[in-house]
Structure 1
């Protein structure tokens, strides 16, 4: 009887905290929803360290930072905001960090982490005020969709390059690679497997696709089993508290900070609103407890920079958990617990991340999914469509997300002014355009 009474008290405590009955859900439903979300987004613990290690960062340090930053932000989302939304280092932002900020410039990863930290602090301050929404309103919806799609094209191109499906060419800059090469062929097979799983709406198709590709890589002798499947977390000190904030200002990395901030602002806000609407948690078209939800991501970005990873973002994969019945923060808590368990699988994750055929399909498919917003752009309207086109096409071609955004932001108000529609442009947006013009014209980053 005593045990039954304790269980009842525990259930009532959960119900009171997460409002399970009010939202029409149960503990078991929330746990299953959390497992579903985890399977759809856990690929990031493999892909993110693999991407950031290309910037010279220690794989194990980034792996631990990725998991801990995700846990910290997701716990805040679950316990404070009570939403079934997961936060983790964002795809696209990690590629921008590794290949544009570090790989394409004269700064090291420590300074890049400093830029993430500064952006995170500004993010926290904005989340405490209404100015965040003013910034979001200042950016035309066509450019918001273009930025997301451009980042998608950027990371898809990265996946094609990593797998050597696309290779460099002296005459045409890029060309089709040698598809018969073992790693390239395996990438194509892995991509096909993931697409088939995706077509049949298999939950966690990216992660399952990775596992199947890993098995094929092992069979074909392209993957060697790790010395141990699990181990205690190690290497954390190599990335934790290594950021260089002073270098951010000495290198004039203001556009980098702005890019981190801008993408995180509307990407996270858009994802949160979409997932909350899907879960039926919007009230009178408003986002309840918005401050706690926004702070979760802002804190995640800031903590992540201190631990050693790129900015965090709300994951659209959270919608899979909502589809499975998740309605409260208990779903997010479940994901956090499962993420904590992955900390002990560092040897296995390192081996998987070192095989391009395993990670590249995820980059390509996520890139494809991010292109969806292009259908929201009115391509018949030159003033809206051409700046959007420039953003999308220039991100991969210049190997710089910031450059693509900057040129699109400059051209947009110019076209509006030429057409005599200066009042259609938010005053803050003119400031954005001037800042990007100065940055692109006179500074390195």
Structure 2
């Protein structure tokens, strides 16, 4: 089924590769509930929704596309869901309504994945804006980690300032950050996950972490949150969540496609510079996003950490199927995750380090061309400063066509970019953001 001989691999190699991938991305099991709980979603709800979406997306990738790529809720999109969509609405939009936008985005994403439009959309967006979006989200995530840990606090004179470095939570964060950074520098497999374990142990010894229960049968406290497409579309229209839906689709589109191509190249699975069974693979994250929103999590994406499994020898869907199986095993550790979620110092280092990895995309931006660099700069700058991914995207998509027109290069822009620019102007001027 997985054509192991054809791909020069074995069952043992594939399963070890799956374990490697799982360990490198297992942090999402803890981090995702913490971030979405700020939006009011119960931690155990998010925990199980994270597991369900990861299992469905990764198993789909394994069984339908036969790729060693894991799928789970994406970093950045969970922060956007919480801080930009829910909390920034000042109580007007609750998390159930916000999940309607994710559900709608998932449905549209499934439709796009079944048509050639997804590929056209990817080619329409300039490469420098794609890179800027990744970098901007990285800064946004890192800032959230700094703020959650207390390393950065509110400051009346300058908006933000350095926190109390002698406080117990900050010291625990610094310990976790130091351990994880050392492991990352040493290229240790599962460095983020191991760092969280080490920080948890110190948290227990210092009395900051209290674990009453470790294992329990998986359950969903609120069951299915969103299921009716008509009601979901009505919520999007009523609350003007068009920009939210568009941002979810846009970010997931670039993130997933870029990751899949990158990991496939690393594994030597590209044929004539094309991705075989691309449509089956692209459906994995869109289906997982739709189902995940029904149970209570933000959009899913292909994980760059899958590259760790490929480096360990993973070449087929058996690697992904192993990851899906390990996520199922992890579903029995809900009480432990709930306990860890109460100590932000355990997950903050992961957010800061993931942010540092994502900001690396700026090195590929054409900084020597002002008409390319300035829109990218706006995206990177405004995402963390406005705590809004969609605002950063909007400013980039508006300024880019304008500068190209002034430069006399209007014909070089794909027509869709002008459409996006107009839509984003309408969103910023007339809709809540």
TM-score (norm 1): 0.95
* Residue 61 of structure 1: how far off its partner (Å): 0.8
Match of 1:170 in 2: 156
Q: Of 339, 347, 361, which aligns to 2:349?
A: 361
Q: In the alignment, is the contact (CA less than 8 A) between 2:85 and 2:244 conserved in 1?
A: yes
Unaligned runs of 5+ in 2: none
Match of 1:195 in 2: 181
- Mapping 1:107-118, distance limit 5 Å: 107-118=93-104
Look up the SS of the partner of 2:164 in the other structure.
coil
Q: In the alignment, is the contact (CA less than 8 A) between 1:61 and 1:239 conserved in 2?
A: no
Q: In the alignment, is the contact (CA less than 8 A) between 1:154 and 1:395 conserved in 2?
A: yes
Q: Does 1:390 align with 2:378?
A: yes
Match of 2:310 in 1: 322
Match of 2:190 in 1: 204
Distance 1:96 1:38, change over 3 A: same
Q: In the alignment, is the contact (CA less than 8 A) between 1:413 and 1:422 conserved in 2?
A: yes
* Deviation digits for residues 145-173 of structure 1 (CA, Å, limit 9, x no counterpart): 00000000001000000011000011100
Q: In the alignment, is the contact (CA less than 8 A) between 1:242 and 1:308 conserved in 2?
A: no
Task: Calculate the aligned-residue CA RMSD, in Å.
Answer: 1.0
Match of 1:14 in 2: none
Q: Of 359, 365, 369, which aligns to 1:377?
A: 365
Q: Does 1:181 align with 2:205?
A: no
* Residue 234 of structure 1: how far off its partner (Å): 2.7
Q: Does 1:420 align with 2:408?
A: yes
Q: In the alignment, is the contact (CA less than 8 A) between 1:70 and 1:336 conserved in 2?
A: yes
Q: Does 1:230 align with 2:215?
A: yes
Match of 2:69 in 1: 85
- Mapping 1:46-195, distance limit 5 Å: 46-105=30-89, 106-195=92-181
Q: In the alignment, is the contact (CA less than 8 A) between 2:61 and 2:281 conserved in 1?
A: yes
Match of 1:29 in 2: 13
Query: How many residue pairs end up in the alignment?
Result: 428
* Residue 372 of structure 1: how far off its partner (Å): 1.2
Distance 1:322 1:104 in 2: 39
Distance 2:43 2:421 in 1: 37
Distance 2:42 2:227 in 1: 12
In the TM superposition, structure 1's runs of 4+ consecutive aligned residues that sit over 4 Å from their partners are none
Unaligned runs of 5+ in 1: 1-16
Q: Which structure is larger by alpha-carbon Rg, 1 or 2?
A: 1
Distance 1:118 1:247 in 2: 10
Distance 1:250 1:51 in 2: 26
Distance 1:109 1:381 in 2: 41
TM-score (norm 2): 0.97
Q: In the alignment, is the contact (CA less than 8 A) between 2:172 and 2:203 conserved in 1?
A: yes
* Residue 238 of structure 1: how far off its partner (Å): 5.1
Look up the SS of the partner of 1:55 in the other structure.
coil
Q: In the alignment, is the contact (CA less than 8 A) between 1:67 and 1:340 conserved in 2?
A: yes
- Mapping 1:320-359, distance limit 5 Å: 320-359=308-347
Distance 2:99 2:277 in 1: 29
Q: In the alignment, is the contact (CA less than 8 A) between 2:173 and 2:348 conserved in 1?
A: yes
Q: In the alignment, is the contact (CA less than 8 A) between 2:99 and 2:226 conserved in 1?
A: no
Q: In the alignment, is the contact (CA less than 8 A) between 1:64 and 1:236 conserved in 2?
A: no
* Residue 233 of structure 1: how far off its partner (Å): 1.4
Q: In the alignment, is the contact (CA less than 8 A) between 1:210 and 1:358 conserved in 2?
A: yes
* Residue 242 of structure 1: how far off its partner (Å): 7.2
Look up the SS of the partner of 2:88 in the other structure.
coil
Distance 1:45 1:413 in 2: 40
Q: Of 258, 281, 285, which aligns to 2:269?
A: 281
Distance 1:213 1:242 in 2: 39
Q: In the alignment, is the contact (CA less than 8 A) between 1:142 and 1:385 conserved in 2?
A: yes
Look up the SS of the partner of 1:56 in the other structure.
coil
Structure 1 window deviating more from structure 2 (244-253 vs 369-378): it is 244-253
Look up the SS of the partner of 1:40 in the other structure.
helix
